Amino acid sequence: MKVAVVGIGVAGAYLMNQLSDLHDVYVTGFERMPEKDHDAVCAWATCDNVMKDYAKQCGLNLENYILHDGKKMKVDVGPGIDSGNNIEINLKGMVSYDKLKLIHDMIRGTNINFEKSPTKTSLEEDFDIIIDSTGFHRHYLPKLNDELWIPCVQYKVKYENIPFDDFYLKAFPSLSGYFWYFPLGNGYAHIGSGDFQRKQTHIFMQSFIKKYPCEILKKVGRPVRITPPSKCLPFTDGKKTIGVGESIGTVYALLGEGIIPSTICAQIFMNNLYDRNKYIQDVLSTFKIYTNVYNFINKSINKKFNLLKDFMEVLKIYKYMKSSEDRFGMEINMLNMLKLTKI
Ligand SMILES: Cc1cc2nc3c(=O)[nH]c(=O)nc-3n(C[C@H](O)[C@H](O)[C@H](O)COP(=O)(O)OP(=O)(O)OC[C@H]3O[C@@H](n4cnc5c(N)ncnc54)[C@H](O)[C@@H]3O)c2cc1C
């Protein structure tokens, strides 16, 4: 069976690694970026309790990629930058890691054509299965009508004097987005902002840089899909193409977290390589709670959230996260969650 993996992000790299090991599969990867510029636009935060198992599955040790091991995350819920009105979240596995290096090590020795975004027709001529792992772009799948995505900008920076020694988040009003400072070790950090309303991003990026001067090494921007899998159907074009990862909405909307969900999605694909319907059903059931999270965020952003009316929704999300503290790499506390719903 000939398989094309188009888009070499976390999902595509994991699939390249795993599919290349199968003796009855001939897998070819395609990535639109040139190899030297291939990037992983992302803040590089994940949970090592979970990610270490996926790295191990690829014969790699996540410890070798960790840049910063988090202990406490400050979530600033007051006005302005570093307001002092913080929620402190104890971390239990949240790290920043060299995502690009891990991707490159996962695809080492596999067959990838960089700087190539083939047409669907040419892919259909040459392959039995075409995996769309193009992330936000969803390039080879039918376009969606009712989409929610958050535009983001991010800088990689270097500090002489670091502003914080651990993860820092600034939550924007109505949970329309976040500003983040994620340490990368040795004075390096990713600072970025994603805001549905767009207006907060510029204000917070500028005021943070003014308050904490740094050397800007790289600027990137891209949206993150918030629409959950249940609203990203169809996952296929009805022919040879099937989506894996953010292309079909595997992002945990409350945190803008897509690394682990997209890798889980890639593993679900591997488990159901020969059964497309089972893959679709398993994705929908695994990520069912993402629809509740999306509804909550959507209501918050549109100022339709009412704690009394929507309490059951919040409770469901809380119970899920509380029972998955190891998965999220942080302690979950109802009081903190309620504080977040009030900003
Ligand atoms: C600014 C920002 C910060 C983030 N920070 C975090 C974080 O800290 N932790 C976390 O868990 N999640 C984070 N996310 C979300 C996370 O990065 C994504 O959800 C996750 O990487 C999705 O993985 P993927 O493999 O599905 O897609 P991607 O990682 O987006 O990979 C898609 C790949 O496809 C390629 N591609 C696109 N179109 C084509 C085409 N037509 N032909 C060929 N190749 C193509 C792209 O170049 C890219 O290499 C962040 C997102 C953004 C935007």
Tens-place pLDDT, residues 199-215:
888 888 999 999 999 99
Q: Which atom of ligand 1 is nearest to the CA of 244?
A: 26
Tokens for 173? 């009003």
Give the separation between CA 243 and CA 247, rounded to whole angstroms.
6
- The string of pLDDT tens digits covering residues 175-193 is 788 999 999 999 999 999 9
Which of 131, 246, 269 should be mutated for ligand 1, with most atoms under 8 A from CB?
A: 246
Q: 228 Cβ partners below 8 Å, 6+ apart?
A: 249, 253, 287, 290, 291, 293, 294
Centre of ligand 1 from the C-alpha of residue 248, in Å = 12
Q: What would the two tokens of residue 244 be?
A: 């894996």
Q: What is the pLDDT of residues 43-70, one digit of tens each?
A: 999 999 999 999 999 999 999 999 999 9
Residue carrying structure tokens 């090991």: 21
Residue 202 pLDDT? 84
Sheet with 94-97, strands from edge to edge, namely 45-47, 94-97, 66-69
Q: For 2-6, 46-50, 307-311, 330-334, which range has the lowest pLDDT when averaged over its residues? A: 307-311
**Residue 284 structure tokens:** 């929908």
Domains of the chain from N-terminus onward:
2-342 (3.50.50.60)
Closest Cα to atom 52, ligand 1: which residue? 42
- According to the model, what pLDDT value does residue 173 have? 77
Q: Residue for token digits 């992330």?
A: 135
Q: Is 15 exposed, middle or buried (0-12, 13-18, 19+ CB in 10 A)?
A: buried
CA of 281 to the centre of ligand 1 (A): 23
d(CA 39, ligand 1 centre) in Å: 9
- β-pairing, 112-114 vs 26-31, is parallel
- The CB density around residue 274, as the number of other CB atoms within 10 Å, is 8
Helix ranges restricted to H, the chain? 10-20, 48-57, 99-106, 120-126, 199-211, 259-271, 276-286, 289-301, 311-322, 325-328, 334-342
Phi, psi of 123 (to 5 degrees): -65, -40
On whether the CB atoms of residues 100 and 39 are closer than 8 A, the answer is: yes
- Rounded-to-integer distance, Cα 300 and Cα 302, Å: 5
Select the more confidently predicted residue: 97 or 300.
Answer: 97
Q: Which two three-digit tokens encode residue 191? A: 């600072």
Closest residue by Cα to residue 147 from 223, 201, 244, 222: 223
Q: In this model, does residue 295 exceed pLDDT 70?
A: yes
- At residue 139, the 3 state secondary structure works out as coil
pLDDT of residue 150: 94
Mean pLDDT of the chain: 94
pLDDT tens digit string along 269-293? 999 999 999 999 999 999 999 999 9
Give the up-direction half-sphere exposure of residue 202: CA atoms within 13 A in the CB hemisphere. Answer: 3
288 or 39: which leads in pLDDT: 288
CA atoms within 13 A on the CB side of 14: 26
Global confidence as pTM: 0.97
Confidence of residue 79 (pLDDT cuts 50, 70, 90): confident
Find the 107 Cα to ligand 1 centroid distance in Å.
16
Query: Tokens at residue 251, please?
Result: 């992002």
**Which two tokens mark 223?**
């949206």
Query: 140 and 13 in contact (C-beta within 8 Å)?
Result: no
Ligand 1 proximity of 332 Cβ (cutoff 6 Å)? no
Question: To 10 degrees, what angle do helices 48-57 and 259-271 make?
Answer: 40
> Is residue 130 a contact partner of residue 29, using CB atoms and an 8 Å limit?
no
